Amino acid sequence: MSNEPTAHGSSETPARELSAPDIKQCCAAAYDSEIAKWLVGDTFHPGGVRLTERLGQLLELNPQTRILDVAAGTGTSGIFLAKRFGCKVVGIDFSRKNVEEANRTALDVGLAGRALFQWADAERLPFADSSFDAVICECSFCLVPDKQLAANEFARVLAVGGQVGISDLTRTEPLSRDLDDLFSWIACIADAQPLTGYVARLSAANLAVRIVEEHNHVLADFVQGIRTRLLAAEVATGLQKLVLPGVDFEAAKKLVRYAQEATAQRKLGYAIVTAIKPA
């Protein structure tokens, strides 16, 4: 929710005019900022660890599972899965700051041997074929510029019988061109896909879709939480009790208003999709 990405263009810059590396770098810069963490919390995705646990259950994680967490952020989900299911987690993120924090947290909680994080690009995974039993990507697949390439990479690093689990923002109709800017892209809205779009990407990667679950209520709760914290931050900043340099409150409030309206009208939603790599 910050204007930190202005190194590559203002929040009004149309996302279609930016290169894929620009978008990735801007998203990484935004998501590892303290402002973003303050506004959206530790998990950075609707449903928090409760929905992460649901994803783990659907993927049938166990202590023998080798799992890749794509766009792992500061490691909240990966560390939770390692603790909850006993699985071995490798997390990747495009933000080196997030990777450092995730490894530090894993060490602090005694899970450094089961949860390891490294810098990597979702479109070019630095792992051998069939390296993992499961791949998860929470609220981040919609941010990847080349989604099919990423889906193909997920399938490549999966062992036969392994599963992919995606949880992400969905839309039911084309979005307003007013939202075709970098700010909206970073907030996951600009390139949110119809639920059928995620299914199609996984299917085109030769993965067999197993489960589709809608969890629209978690998006409504998530957006309301951001709205509450955003309004509190604006008041505190006005009273000079909080310093948030570079925050465009008007742009942020506009985006939150749209998200609330679109969620209420079921134009935006949230869903889990899982798929298996067949023999």
CATH number for the domain spanning 209: value is 3.40.50.150
Q: Could you tell me the CA-to-CA distances from 272 to 81, 133, 186, 195, 220 in Å, in that order?
A: 16, 18, 20, 9, 16
User: What phi and psi values does residue 208 have, to the nearest 5 degrees?
Assistant: -95, 115
Using the structure block, give the residue that is written with the tokens 């071995």: 88
The answer to whether 226 touches 258, Cβ cutoff 8 Å, is no
**What's this model's pTM, rounded to 2 decimal places?**
0.79
DSSP for 30-76, written as a single string: HHTSHHHHHHH-SS-STTHHHHHHHHHHHTT--TT-EEEEET-TTSH
Q: How many domains does the chain have?
A: 1
In a domain, 207, yes or no: yes
User: Quick one: tokens of 40?
Assistant: 């959206």
Is 240 inside any structural domain?
A: no
Quick check: 129 and 146 in contact, CB under 8 A? no
Q: What percent of the chain has pLDDT over 70?
A: 73
Residue 198 lies in a domain: yes
Q: Establish if 250 belongs to a structural domain.
A: no
Q: Is residue 144 part of a domain?
A: yes
CA within 13 Å, CB half, 80: 20
**Residue 146: inside a domain:** yes
* pLDDT level of residue 154 (50, 70, 90 thresholds): very high
Q: Is residue 243 part of a domain?
A: no
Query: What pLDDT, in 10s, does the model give residues 20-61?
Result: 554 455 455 555 555 555 555 555 678 889 999 999 999 999
231: in domain = no
- How confident is the model over 200-209, as pLDDT tens digits? 999 999 999 9
What contacts 23, CB < 8 A, 6 or more positions away? 15, 143, 145, 182, 185
pLDDT class for 229, splitting at 50, 70, 90? confident
